[in-house]
Structure 1
Amino acid sequence: MLVLLPPSESKWAGPRRGSPVRLDTLTSPALTAAREQVLDALAAASARADALELLGAGASLADVVAANTTLRERPAARAAQVYTGVLFDALDLPSLPAAAARRVLVVSALWGVLSPRDRVPGYRLSMGTDLPGLGPLAAWWRPRLAEALRPQGLVVDCRSAAYAAAWVPDADTAARTVAVRVLAGGRVVSHAAKHTRGLLARHLLTRTGRPPRTPAALADAAAEAFQARLREPAGRAKPWTLDVEAR
């Protein structure tokens, strides 16, 4: 079982001292050249007078955007510490057992994919950005992640829509992929969705017994702690959907 997560908008800036990111040590080293390209484009965009507008950031984030220009030099920390926010507070990545953490990948607008143990600095960049020199990032990453991200076994997709657009499973992978949808009173919600996805991911990663290997087994595992219903794929080469009641 592999759990795919979106990153958080809020991030820890990282420690004051320490070694910077080493691209050759990150998960999926085949993405190193792509990461170099995004780093260069992000640094150039962040140095522009209209950087805040380009990156969809408010004036209060001016310092965070400015820090994008020095990402190669700034001290790095484990992604499990860098990503904060509602989903990651509920999941509590730093406390996950090592075996559970190995089942997690974060899809990132800057790094492509990261494991919790990868060391990176905090940054400001979202997948919905149209980055000068590269264009819309979800479309830019899609063919690169298609080559690099070929998971085996069951995939639990907890990504938001923007990040889901950056990696679309092929027909074989879609048959064993389950997209998590959060509802309240029968309606899809965004409020509380992140919190619920974080709680669900933690339950699936830390529960006793063997990890689920099929969509049906996943639904049974989720039902141990949530009101959940599995829906069949909406069409050919589409993933399954797990509807989970918000908590």
Structure 2
Amino acid sequence: MGFIVFFSPSEDKVISQADKDFSLSRMQIQHQQDSKNDTIKYCQDKQIKILNKNGYFSNAPQVDFLASLWKNRYLHGYREQILESYLDTLRQILTKHDKILLKEVYGAKNFTPKNEMELNLALQQNTTLQAIERYCGVAFQALNFTSLSEESKDFICNHVYIFSNLFGVICARDKIPFYKLKQGAKIPYLNLAKVYEPFLPLLDDFLSQTLPNPQDFIIDLRASIYTKIFTPKQQNFFFEFQKENKIVSHYSKFYRGVILRLLSQQSQWRDSQNIDFETALVFFSTIEHENLRLHSITQKKTTTIVKYDIL
């Protein structure tokens, strides 16, 4: 008997100290090169360049991190294509000051020092963090991963799969760089349907092998935009949150993070051999949180919908 957890990413990402240090080092190298009037000339677009061991600058990002992502032995070439399309889009935004693309990718109408800095940082692709630490939106704030015990962190790293909007399905422990890409972006080759196209058969195979027993299940903590991309055939729990009889999306993000935190803190969940579907149903029916109260449980094919009132 076993289970896994599906989780959504967030548009907000952590900029780590390593990101800042690397960005600063690139600026210093550029300043030194400019001041020495080196024969190596920068392109007019002032893209951030990467210094290789021979002392030459290259536009190519470091993509070594791709090799460690979930199922990358089957997906490496595809992920490289998606990543290059993304980086080309960033270059177009920055070199042409393309406000239409800026809004589609970043969600902003105008350029600001902040979004230009973040887009330049996204071009570097050189420093990485675990995905569960890189994302920092509402759900991840509620989870508060860094404050958890080592046992709880291990539970999350071993059970949680995040549906990234750029890298596809990744494990919580997979390391990814900083990036900015609005969820639901409609850019060719970067929309969710296109990104996830080769993932769907792999997901089906993975789930059938990982969860082969009738009592195995999925805890689906994804937002609806991701549930529309892929619907598991296995038994699964899906969660809705309402306040004054109205479904509230912002609170839903927060309480999905709360539920994941509660799960990770339960010793019985950390030993997944002791959890079957019926045991999970009892847990979600009697969940203890001061701001949540069970409203209803309904069944729709293989999906058990657990609805909570927010107090």
Q: Same fold judged by TM-score > 0.5?
A: yes
SS in structure 1 of the partner of residue 267 of structure 2: coil
101 and 32 in structure 1: CA distance in 2 versus 1, 3 angstrom threshold: same
CA contact (8 A) 2:11 2:183 kept: no
2:67 paired residue number: 24
Provide the residue aligned with 2:157 in structure 1. 101
Q: Which residue of 2 aligns with 1:115?
A: 171
Other-structure match for 2:49: none
Work out which of the residue numbers 288, 296, 299 in structure 2 matches 1:232: 299
Once the two structures are TM-superposed, the CA of residue 114 in structure 1 deviates from its matched residue by 1.8
Confirm or deny that 1:3 pairs with 2:1: no
- Letter of the 1:79 counterpart: A
Q: Which residue of 1 aligns with 2:102?
A: 52
Q: In 2, distance between residues paired with 1:114 and 1:246? A: 30
Structure 1 residue 67 and structure 2 residue 121: aligned?
yes
Name the SS of the counterpart of 1:8 in structure 2. coil
Root-mean-square deviation (CA), in Å? 2.3
Q: Is the 8 A contact 2:219 2:236 kept in 1?
A: yes
Alignment partner of 2:130 out of 71, 75, 78: 78
- Between structure 1 and structure 2, the one with the greater Rg is 2
Query: Which range moves more in the overlay, 90-99 or 185-194?
Result: 90-99
1:160 is displaced (CA, Å) by: 1.2
5 Å-filtered alignment, 1:1-247, equals 1-14=3-16, 15-16=18-19, 21-29=64-72, 30-48=74-92, 49=96, 50=98, 51-58=101-108, 59-60=111-112, 61-71=115-125, 74-94=126-146, 95=148, 96-132=152-188, 134=189, 137-149=191-203, 150-151=206-207, 152=211, 153-169=216-232, 172-173=233-234, 176-210=235-269, 211=272, 212-214=275-277, 216-222=278-284, 223-225=286-288, 226-228=292-294, 229-233=296-300, 236=301, 239-246=303-310
1:22 counterpart letter in structure 2: F
Contact 1:5 1:158 (C-alpha < 8 Å) held by counterparts: yes
Greater Cα shift, 9-18 or 28-37: 9-18
TM-score scaled to structure 2, two decimals?
0.68
2:82/2:195 contact within 8 Å kept: no
Three-state SS of the structure 1 residue aligned to 2:305 is strand
Structure-2 separation of matches of 1:185 and 1:45: 42
C-alpha change, 1:232 and 1:199, in structure 2 (3 Å) is same
Deviations 1:148-176 (A, max 9, x none): 2233231111111222233222xx32xx1
Contact 1:13–1:123 at 8 Å: present in 2 too?
Answer: no
**Aligned to 1:117, what secondary structure does the other structure show?**
coil
Q: May I ask how many residue pairs the two structures share in their alignment?
A: 235
Deviation of 1:182 (Å): 1.3
CA distance in 2, matches of 1:165, 1:46: 27
- Taking only the aligned residue pairs, the percentage that are identical comes to 20
How far apart, CA to CA, are the structure 1 residues paired with 2:308 and 2:157? 22
Give unpaired runs (5+ residues) of structure 1.
none
Q: Distance in 2 between matches of 1:126 and 1:33?
A: 23
Question: 1:21 touches 1:119 (CA, 8 Å); kept in 2?
Answer: no
Whether the aligned pair in 1 keeps the contact of 2:4 and 2:159 (CA below 8 Å) is: yes
Q: Structure 2: state its 5+ residue gaps.
A: 23-61
| Equivalent pair of 1:93/1:101 in contact (CA under 8 Å) | no
Cα gap change, 1:68 to 1:123, in 2 (>3 Å)? same
Report SS of the residue matched to 1:99. helix
